[in-house]
């Protein structure tokens, strides 16, 4: 119960339209929406520890998220990736250490203030009411209600739907979509929020090959525009191809962090995933290609 009381609901932030109108004027909203200079710190974890009962899900994690980059969080199941993403979002309070967002401790921002500065895509998107796709995407604009940026709502929604290729079914009920289509609509909602920090938890998990590449290209475009993008990925090939930096998590700690070409080495990945791997350069791009080492057919 203690842990549940510390969790801030992003949905409450998105629904706090009246509070936003009272709390923010156009100047504050403009400052929140402006991208930082490339390399500026968008979020940071310092000595971050999060416990679930007696177990440290995160244990002394240090990580900096920079504007203008795509940072991929990778690692095996249970390594702490989603927990770290939630902590960076300010949705989970640490047991020790600190998380800062846009230069201030995450706990110092109110929920409406955080919603102007970071947007979060959870692993699963579920809605209990028969909203149209366009309405779901428009929910991403709720934090800007009552600010000068409210005039950008229609343009932001249209741009997000075009980027994720969901405009063709804008009038369909969200519940009638396939899993992959829902995932792209959920991403469009996050993009429509137009924050300086995007935190995406496994956005490619339900997608086919083409749309996986589409989503990661959107992430790269947002980073090129000065935003900071943190994305949880299980596909090391996608991380190597699209991330500027990767952080490899293992048992609640960061085993290594840096450019994929430096971090994705067989010894480290084999230890973290508890399975031998091979890492080969792509013949044209040089990007690391990671393969699980398998016995030959004759030895099976």
Cβ-based neighbour number of residue 16 at 10 Å: 19
Interstrand relation of 118-121 and 197-201 (parallel, antiparallel or unpaired): parallel
pTM of the model: 0.87
pLDDT digit string, tens, across residues 109-157: 999 999 999 999 999 877 767 899 999 999 999 999 999 999 999 999 9
pLDDT band of 9, cuts 50, 70, 90: very low
Residue pointed to by tokens 């900096």: 64
pLDDT for 129 equals 78
pLDDT at 280 over 80: yes
Determine the average pLDDT of the residues in 261-272. 97
State the Cα angle at 209 between 69 and 217, rounded to 5°. Answer: 25
pLDDT at 281 over 70: yes
Token pair, residue 235, equals 């596909």
pLDDT digit string, tens, across residues 183-201: 999 999 999 999 999 999 9
pLDDT for 224 equals 96
pLDDT digit string, tens, across residues 17-76: 333 333 334 445 555 666 666 779 999 999 999 999 989 999 999 999 999 999 999 999
Cβ-based neighbour number of residue 70 at 10 Å: 23
Cβ-based neighbour number of residue 93 at 10 Å: 15
Determine the average pLDDT of the residues in 154-161. 98
pLDDT for 29 equals 58
- Cβ atoms of 215 and 207 within 8 Å: the answer is yes
Q: Of all residues in the chain, what percent carry a pLDDT higher than 90?
A: 81
CA distances from 121 to 104, 189, 232 (A): 22, 9, 10
pLDDT digit string, tens, across residues 242-251: 999 999 999 9
pLDDT band of 296, cuts 50, 70, 90: confident
What is the DSSP code (8-state) at residue 299? G
pLDDT band of 297, cuts 50, 70, 90: low
Token pair, residue 72, equals 């991929």
């Amino acid at each position: 119960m203690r842990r549940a009381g510390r969790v801030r609901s992003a949905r409450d932030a998105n629904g706090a339209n009246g509070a936003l109108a009272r709390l923010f004027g156009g100047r504050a909203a403009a400052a929140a929406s402006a991208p930082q200079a490339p390399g500026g710190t968008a979020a940071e974890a310092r000595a971050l520890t999060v416990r679930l009962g007696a177990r440290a899900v995160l244990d002394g994690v240090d990580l900096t998220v920079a504007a203008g980059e795509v940072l991929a969080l990778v690692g095996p199941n249970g390594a702490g990736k989603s927990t770290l993403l939630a902590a960076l979002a300010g949705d989970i309070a640490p047991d020790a250490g600190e998380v800062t967002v846009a230069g201030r401790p995450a706990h110092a921002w109110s929920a409406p203030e955080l919603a102007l500065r970071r947007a979060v895509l959870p692993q699963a998107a579920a809605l209990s009411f028969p909203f149209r796709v366009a309405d779901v995407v428009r929910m991403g604009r709720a934090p800007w209600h009552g600010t000068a940026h409210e005039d950008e709502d229609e343009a932001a929604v249209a741009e997000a739907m075009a980027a994720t290729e969901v405009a063709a079914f804008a009038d369909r009920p969200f519940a009638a979509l396939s899993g992959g289509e829902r995932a792209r609509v959920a991403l469009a909602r996050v993009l429509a929020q137009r924050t300086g920090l995007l935190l995406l938890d496994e956005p490619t998990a339900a997608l086919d090959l083409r749309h996986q590449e589409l989503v990661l290209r959107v992430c790269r475009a947002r980073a090129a525009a000065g935003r900071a993008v943190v994305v949880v990925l299980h596909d090391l090939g996608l991380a190597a191809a699209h991330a500027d930096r990767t952080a490899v998590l293992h048992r609640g700690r960061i085993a290594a962090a840096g450019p994929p070409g430096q971090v994705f080495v067989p010894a480290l990945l084999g230890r973290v995933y508890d399975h031998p791997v091979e890492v080969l350069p792509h013949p044209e791009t040089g990007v690391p290609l990671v393969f699980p080492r398998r016995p030959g057919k004759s030895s099976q």
